[in-house]
A and B are shown apart, each in its own frame.
Chain A
């Protein structure tokens, strides 16, 4: 078994093991980043969403060999319990989390959408989150959370000008 390196949340990490091991297993078992969750294991639910070179992907569908030399960001990169990101704060303020299993994936899809300049309107946010299922069906609060965070982002940008 060879070793491969990837950048996870800004840190270079080395993985020693089978290259076909799923990225989600390497993140959770080897790197102890347990934010990403395995829901369905077949790319339907999005609970395992992480960013690969900035784009949202299902980490349950990626062999770690294909992440070699690339940049991975997990929900742990957003904020800490002491200092939440604006998006995380938006989820807290608007009750965007119920049972919490889908939340890390929702956050990463929303983060990718806003960071890439995606539009902060209801329809665009719903499309950006359409690969993330919430079985508590709290979708309205989740969309509200993202829009609240996006409005904060816009205000801060205006204030800087």
Chain B
């Protein structure tokens, strides 16, 4: 069965409070931002008979602005808004690079950061960059506001810790010292429009003698949710960044990820390709 437009009710709240009230009143209601994921499911006839709460009139939620100690990105900012924003490009380039790999222009012009988060796909393109930047997700619900660190926001495949009636208001990126090296890589079947087999974002800081003073490494598509490589990061801190350190860090990848065989790739390929991405990054060769 196809989607039946007449079976859907449609409201366009003008304020966040109205949107939260509408969502809280109907647990089956769909919060609709850019619709690039929801419309695919709806076109297949999977969402008929639902109430749609159109968020597109909450224009203040589309803003990207400087905030105390970092940058605040409204949940309705599109991938195109983010990848073109000068402050994102200058201070959070991994996120700009990730947004540029979401679908192609048509999807980047519609899909939103909040929608990407709420959809909670294991392959969400923005998540490894957000994990490296230690993003904080700000939510608004019937009981008020709360802030969730990115890694706590996800509960599993396509599952978040949003409570009934809660919406994502914005994403905060704390300022960080400029890394010595930072990189985003996405591995898919084609250069464009691909859903990833594996995806890497990393940043590292070096001190005197090439010693790693800090490092943040994250992978997507290798577990139900985005993962930071806690074991590899802990191992590397305080060590000289050389081939032996890189090789050992790559060995520790398994400690934090659990890739599977699925329609897009295999566990073995994902692990091998991810180790390659990691070693390339640590050697500065990608």
Contacts and interface: CB of A to CB of B under 8 A. Distances in A.
A82 interface: no
A25 B4 CA distance: 12
Contacts of A66: 32, 35, 54, 56
Contacts of A63: 5, 10, 32, 35, 39, 52, 54
Chain B contact residues (Cβ within 8 angstroms of A): what range? 20 to 34
B12 interface: yes
A122 B127 CA distance: 31
A43 B107 contact: yes
Contacts of A60: 39, 43
A44 B39 contact: no
Interface string B28-42: 000010011001101
A84 interface: no
Interface string B93-136: 00000000001111101100000000000000000000000000
A109 to B, nearest CB: 7
A90 B193 CA distance: 26
B105 A61 contact: no
Interface string A107-134: 0010011000000000000011011100
Contacts of B8: 18, 20
A130 B193 contact: yes
B104 A61 contact: no
Contact of A109 (B5, B54, B105, B191): B105
A3 interface: no
Interface of B: 3, 5-6, 8, 10, 12, 32, 35-36, 39-40, 42-43, 52, 54, 56, 80, 103-107, 109-110, 191-193
